[in-house]
Every structure is written in C-alpha cells, then in structure tokens.
Amino acid sequence: MSAPRGQFTSNIGFLMAAAGSAVGLGNIWGFPTKAASNGGAAFVVAYLFLAFALAYPALMAELTIGRHARRNMVQALRSISNGPISRFFGGLTGFGGILVASLILSFYAIVAGWMVAHLAEPFASLFGAQEAAQWLSSNSVDRNLIMTAIFSGLTMLIIASGVEKGIERWSTLLMPSLIILLLLLICYVLTQPGALTGLEVYLMPNFDHFTPDLLISAMGQAFFSLSLGVGTMLIYGSYLSQQESLPRLGALVTLIDVGIAFTAGLLILPAMYVAQEAGTQIFSAEGVLIAGPDLILQVLPALFDTMGEAGVFVSIAFFALMVIASLTSSISMLEVPVAFSIENLNIPRRIATPIVGLIIFGVSSGIIFYFDSLFLLAVTISTEYGQPLLGIALCIFAGWIWRRDQLLAELKKGHEDIEHTLFWKIWPWYVRIVCPLLILTAFVQSVV
C-alpha cells in the first residue's frame, strides 16, 4: 500500500506554493534586466499583455488537468487520453516535462548557489573569517560545487517532508518574508542618488523596441516566470482541493507573479543607476547594459560596498531575497520527478527525494565543471525549446484530446456560477486554438 496522496490544506497554502514556484530568479533578475535592455515600459506592457493573454490560459490548462487527474504529469496526460496513440504522446509529453523540469533545476541550483555564497560572505567577514569570505566571493569550481550542494540539499529537505509539511509550510513562511524584504530594499534604494534615472529607464516606454523579437522575449519570460510546460503547475494543481475555484486561483497566481516581477523592477533598475552614480560601470564596452550574471555578482555587490555599514545589511537582505525566491521555485521543480517516482515507481518520498536530488546534483556538477560549454546549452534546451513545445502539447491535451464534458465539469468544481463568467465563454476554445497557435508562431520565429 502506498501512502495517501498529499493535499494542500487551504487555498492560501496552494496560493503561496504556486506563487512561490512562479516567483523566482526569473522575476527578480530576469524580468527587470530584460525590461531594461528592451525599451523599458514597452517590454513591461508587452509582458503584462502576454502574461494574461497567453500564460494565464496555459496555466489554467495545467491546473485543470492536474486537479482532475490527481496524478503526476505522465499519468495525468495518459489518463485524459482517449486511445493508444494519444496515450503514447501523453506519456512522452509527461516524460519530457520531467526531464525539462530536472534540467531547469540543474542550472537553477547553480545560480542559486551563487546567491547562497553571496549571502554567506558578509557573515564570514563579520566574524573575521577573511579567508572564508574571499573563498565565498571567488567563483571557483569548488565554491560553486559546495554552494550548489547546500542549495540542492535545502531543496531536498523541504521536498522530503511532503506536500503539507514541506512545500506548503515553507512556501507560506517564505513568500511573505520575500515580499517584506523586497519592499524594504526598494524603500532604501529609492532614497539613494541616481535612483530616479533608473526609474525613468524602467518606466518610460521606448516603442522603437516594439518588434517581434521583443514579443518573443516577453513570451519566453512569461512562460519561464509562470513555471509553465514542465508540469510544476500540473502537480501543484493535483494537490488542490475540489472546493476551490481554479480560474480565480490561477488568476491570483498570475497577478502575484506579474506584480512581484514589476515590483522587482522598481528595485533592480534604480539600484543599477545608483551603482553608476557611485562609480560602477553598468554598460559594457559596446554600450550595452550589463544584464547577465555580472549585474548580480559584480555591479550590485560593488554598490553594496559603497554603502558602508548599511551596505552589509542591504547585501544580506538582497541575497536572502534571492535565495528565498529561488528556493520556493526549486522545490516545485524537484517535486515533478519526485512525484513521478513515488506514484509510478512506488518509491517512498523519503527515499525518492535524495535519489532524484542527487542525480540532478550530478548534472549540476557536470555543468559546473564544463560551465562555458554546458550552462547556456542547458538554459537554451530547457527554456527556449522544452518549455514552449511542452506548452503547446499541454494546450492540445486540454483543448483537443481530453473529453470536453470532463474538462468543463472539472472547471465547475468549486465555482458554481462559472457559466456566467467571461472565462467560461472564452477559455475553452481559446486554449484549443489561440494558445497553441500563438506559442507555435513565437517558437518558430525564435528558432528561425
């Protein structure tokens, strides 16, 4: 007999977990820097539009399938299939999701490991351990291995404790802390000289940038940010009670995700221009805004250094924010393969978690050793190919393969008067036609 399936104990618990999965490095780092290099508010507007017009409907497909099937992605897609061929593709898509979620985790944990190192560094300095502090800021292979191991270990500890005691409890604790830290940091940074220039760059639209490339970039960002395609939202939906309204919860998750991404822009962009005011280079030699790892690992730390005593606390708060945001996302990625191992391979959670976690850590280690050739490859395969293709497949499953009456019945659960809503009138055909076509168009464009 396998253990009973976990379930979120409340809608707040689900909301914190799903928003926790969505809100991550993609929001706090990815979104603001993409906005800064893509025409400021022009990108913000495109992003807001795509988040609600494309990502939200795709999110609803995952949540609805997940809650109906109450199983992991492989079994869920097989169970809504109606013949051997679709069942085969259901299994294939499910395995694809598990692989891509694991691949995302393998590079995400490395980046999160950098954040752990930067969080630990001021503590080492504070306690006079200068050598340790130097090592922590060194970007050496051994530092990266150990920091990634620590972060992966934390992720495993939470996932090993299960849905209520692990995912729900920790997300409910960490998400409010994240919001408080973010707001405190914004209040501080906005009082510094140079901050207003950053706000201007962020909020003044430059519509010259409004090109197909901008839309593709905004779509990729929305997909990554809402954790779509890889079954994280499907598996979280499968732990949700049938008393809750899916369209409402899905809309709230989208709103929180978009809201925090936008708010993070109010921190990162001003901080960059404060750093410039304090003498740090924020443009590359070619005049391009520094947006990659150098921004988080050099520009911002250099800024914190100029802030004297306060800088130590600001730095701790900032990297704590990054670690928290990463952790509530990484647990959702690990849950995808772990749920599969529990349900399909009959391995108890406490054993499945370390096994799967260690395999993924092995992949992270490989990426750390061959960073220059593997890191970008892992990012590209998983986010530029994996997520959109799986997203299309999931919309096709929800819109074409799954029996309509079952899909509609699932939507009605927990939302009695849904038939009077706009959602009911639009979404069922929208997810069938508009979503897959839009994602496909953007995908083809980006590949070509």
The binding site for ligand PHE (CB under 6 A) comprises 21-22, 24-27, 104, 224-225, 227, 230, 232, 329, 332-333
- Separation of alpha carbons 171 and 174, rounded Å: 5
Q: Which is nearer to ligand PHE, 64 or 329 (CB)?
A: 329
CB of 92 to ligand PHE, least distance (A): 19
> Residue length, the chain?
448
Instruction: Check if the beta carbon of residue 303 is closer than 8 Å to that of residue 318.
Output: no
d(CA 365, CA 142): 10
- Alpha-carbon gap, residue 325 to 168, rounded angstroms: 15
**In angstroms, rounded to a whole number, what is the distance separating the alpha carbons of residues 323 and 181?**
12
Min dist CB 23 to ligand PHE, Å, is 6
**Nearest CB to ligand PHE, comparing residues 254 and 332:** 332
How far is residue 326 from each of residues 143, 226, 294, 330, measured CA to CA in Å?
18, 13, 18, 6
For 7, list phi and psi in degrees, rounded to 5: -150, 145
CB of 209 to ligand PHE, least distance (A): 22
When the beta carbons of 6 and 231 are compared against ligand PHE, the nearer one is 231
Cα angle value 387/382/351 (rounded, 5°): 100
Q: Rounded to the nearest whole angstrom, what is the least distance from the CB of residue 378 to ligand PHE in the complex?
A: 13
* DSSP annotation string for 90-117: HHHHHHHHHHHHHHHHHHHHHHHHHHHH
Q: Quote the least distance from Cβ 100 to ligand PHE, whole Å.
A: 8
Nearer to ligand PHE, 75 or 254 (CB): 254
User: Which residues, in sequence order, are CB contacts of 321 under 8 Å at separation 6+?
Assistant: 28, 178, 181, 182, 185
Which residue, 314 or 390, has its beta carbon nearer to ligand PHE? Answer: 390
Q: Of 72 and 332, which CB lies nearer to ligand PHE in the complex structure?
A: 332
Cα 198 from Cα 36, distance rounded (Å): 9
**Residue 323 or residue 401: which is nearer to ligand PHE going by CB?**
323
Shortest Cβ 120–ligand PHE spacing (Å):
21
Shortest distance in whole angstroms from residue 325 CB to ligand PHE? 7
Burial of 372 (0-12, 13-18, 19+ CB in 10 A): exposed
Is 101 or 124 the residue whose CB approaches ligand PHE more closely? Answer: 101
Handedness of CA 68, 71, 74, 80 (dihedral sign): negative
Nearest approach, Cβ of 337 to ligand PHE (angstroms)? Answer: 12
